[in-house]
Amino acid sequence: MRHAAALPAAIDGSDFERPLSAQGQAAAAQSARRLAAAALKIERILYSPAHRTRDTAAIVAQELALGASAMEAVPALYAASPRTLRQAIVKSHAGARVLLVIGHNPGISELGQELGVGLGYGLLATSAFWRLAFDVDSWQRLVRPGSSGSAVRG
């Protein structure tokens, strides 16, 4: 999932500290409801520690009734490449079979494109998500070349 829409950076502020806009908060809640309706049984949320992704993760976790123990801020997810995203998933999945990873473009969109071969959807909009399913026995398969799955865009 890509984080929800954030406020522009203040003149003296950093990109990392940009909070969600009111529109972003509403969109994150709407996406969380779509995730809940899909009955994906998300077990764990990995998210970039940037303010806007933290806020997005908190909104989603609340809607899905996930506790703090199901959430992990992963510093490597901030502005990460698809390869770094894959490595972070393998390292931080904590045994979960169903993960939600909340990150930033272009990396999060590029990862979805790599894993959902041939989808051609382009970049995710804010609050949008890829839903990918893999028939694999280990998350370690994500870091091996040729890993792909079936995908739906949400």
DSSP string, 129-147: -EEEE---S-GGGGGSTT-
Model pLDDT for residues 30-41, shown as the tens digit of each residue: 999 999 998 889
Model pLDDT for residues 43-62, shown as the tens digit of each residue: 999 999 999 999 999 999 99
pTM, to two decimals: 0.89
Phi, psi of 131 (to 5 degrees): -115, 110
What domains are there in the chain, each with its CATH number?
15-153 (3.40.50.1240)
